[in-house]
């Protein structure tokens, strides 16, 4: 059974700092890995998707990496802004229909 | 572009009452459709998914059911709500591409259900 862990559960940083969010998983037999952000009371917004054959994806100030051998993915956020404050979740697709989600990291960027 | 609509945004229902939540997707055809539940302080739980009209797979046995009467419409229902049904319900869609690759999963804005 795939288990997904996101540490830390919460993170508070000053504006402008570069930061890394972590996602660990136990089963490397995945189709892809996706990072989402969730604002309070809202649905999840897709940020980046990395296929199992890829090592990283970039979108603006975000960069996500995937290392299947070590069971890790990281989401790098450059020059953080208060608008980046949200909960960030990673999810692994282990079959056509099934995604396993982490519990998320709640990020607060202080002005 | 594709959009997903989910309503209502919030709902307060008494125990034992019926439930119907609706989700529609625009701008694509034959999507995979999903219902997830997010309980307070917990992760997302997959409830149902559908790969086509009338095709529903249940992940968790419970008093909820799902239906897909049209290609881009997904409905979550219950005949009698329980207190434990309270939570944040999210509809999502994606597409299955070649070589088994899926497109990113996209979520609606969710329905906050409180059963009293």
Q: What is the mean pLDDT of residues B90-111?
A: 85
Q: Which residues of B touch A41 (CB under 8 A)?
A: 110, 112
Helix%, strand%, coil% for chain B, nearest 5: 5, 60, 35
Q: What is the mean pLDDT of residues B28-33?
A: 92
Q: Which residue of A has its CA nearest to B106?
A: A46
CA distance A105 to B95: 27
What number is the average pLDDT over the span B54-70?
A: 89
Task: Establish, for the pair of chains A and B, how many residue pairs have beta carbons separated by less than 8 Å.
Answer: 53
Cα gap A51→A62, rounded to integer Å: 16
Model pLDDT, residue B99 = 60
């Amino acid at each position: 059974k795939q288990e997904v862990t996101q540490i830390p559960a919460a993170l508070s940083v000053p504006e402008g700092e570069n930061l890394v969010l972590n996602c660990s998983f136990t089963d490397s037999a995945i189709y892809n890995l996706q990072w989402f952000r969730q604002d309070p009371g809202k649905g999840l917004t897709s940020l980046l998707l990395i296929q199992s054959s890829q090592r990283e994806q970039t979108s603006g100030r975000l960069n996500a990496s995937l290392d299947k051998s070590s069971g890790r993915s990281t989401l790098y956020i450059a020059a953080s802004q208060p608008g980046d404050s949200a909960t960030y979740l990673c999810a692994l697709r282990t079959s056509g229909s099934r995604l396993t989600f982490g519990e998320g990291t709640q990020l607060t960027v202080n002005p | 572009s594709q959009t997903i609509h989910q309503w209502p945004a919030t709902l307060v229902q008494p125990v034992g009452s019926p439930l119907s939540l609706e989700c529609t997707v625009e701008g694509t055809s034959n999507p995979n459709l999903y219902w997830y539940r997010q309980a307070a302080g917990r992760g997302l739980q997959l409830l149902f998914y559908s790969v086509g009209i009338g095709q529903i797979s249940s992940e968790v046995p419970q008093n909820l059911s799902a239906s897909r009467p049209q290609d881009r419409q997904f409905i979550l229902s219950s005949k009698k709500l329980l207190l434990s049904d309270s939570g944040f319900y999210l509809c999502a869609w994606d597409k299955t591409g070649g070589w088994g690759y899926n497109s990113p999963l996209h979520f609606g804005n969710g329905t906050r259900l409180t059963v009293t």
